[in-house]
Amino acid sequence: MPPPTRLRTRTLALLAAALAAGACASGGGDTVEPLAAADTSRARAHHSVGATHLREGRIALAIRELRAAEQLNPRDKWIQLGLAEAYRRKSLGADAERHLKKALVIDPAFQDARLTLSGLYIQSERYPEAIAETQLLIDDPTFPKPWEALVNKGYALMLLRRRTEAREALELALEYHDRYWRAHLNLGILDEEEGKRLEAMERFDRVLKLGAGPLASAEVNYRMAEIYLSLGNRERAVEHLVAASSQRPNGAWGKRSEDTLRALR
């Protein structure tokens, strides 16, 4: 059974992509007092630049721009979400949580912030709190992507070893969106943990065919290599380890694959 520390290296369904959409918003949040038009425009400009820096991995510059935007318009929920994501990427969980909660005070129905908060709670190993946040979204008929909340819920339940409930959440996610690769990946991990190696391999192969990103593909290839090694098929295992290390050479799964390859030589 993979230990929890390995599972926590997974990609979570956080909403960095939402930041780009937020950067195009006209004002974002409610205000206690009307802002001067110039301040609103300057805040929007700083936010747009910050979102670009964040998207391109320049986290320190992103924080600088987003903090400038916050000073001009502290009641903009999208600015708060952007700051939360930037701090999360710097592993400053308390700061990320603070800004997510600010966003939810501004707009309690801000679904992107709540989904991101559930992911942050998973990273912080606060699984019951993560489940509570996802359940609010699952129960909200206006939430347009319930499969994302269900996958976060299922993932948190996996880490709590509540596998039956986790499987139910993940399978329901696929009823909503049968091509959502994160659900297939988590179900594959569940199958692997339960000794269902053939089913796990089918799930992992599906993830690769659905075009998951390099981090997820590296994880899947590593997990497939582990199964092949357990079956005594060294040649196929090496193929997947090489693929994992080439897809994300500097990532956790790529490095783990390189270590395994060295041990096999």
Largest CA distance in the chain: 69
How much is the pTM? 0.84
Contacts of 242 (CB under 8 A, 6+ apart): 257, 261
Provide the CATH number for the domain around residue 26.
1.25.40.10
Each residue of 50-73: pLDDT tens digit?
999 999 999 999 999 999 999 999
Q: Is 160 helix (H, G, I), strand (E, B) or coil?
A: coil
| For residue 233, pLDDT beyond 60 | yes
Please indicate, yes or no, if residue 237 is contained in any of the structural domains: no
Residue 102, domain member (yes or no): yes
Is the per-residue pLDDT at 31 higher than 90? no
In a domain, 76, yes or no: yes
Residue 36: other Cβ atoms inside 10 A: 10
Q: For residue range 159-195, list pLDDT tens digits in order.
A: 999 999 999 999 999 999 999 999 999 999 999 999 9
Q: Find, among 73, 117, 118, 126, the residue nearest to 99 by Cα.
A: 117
State the total domains in the chain.
1
Establish if 44 belongs to a structural domain.
yes
How much is the pLDDT for 4?
45
173 located within any domain: no
Q: Is residue 71 part of a domain?
A: yes
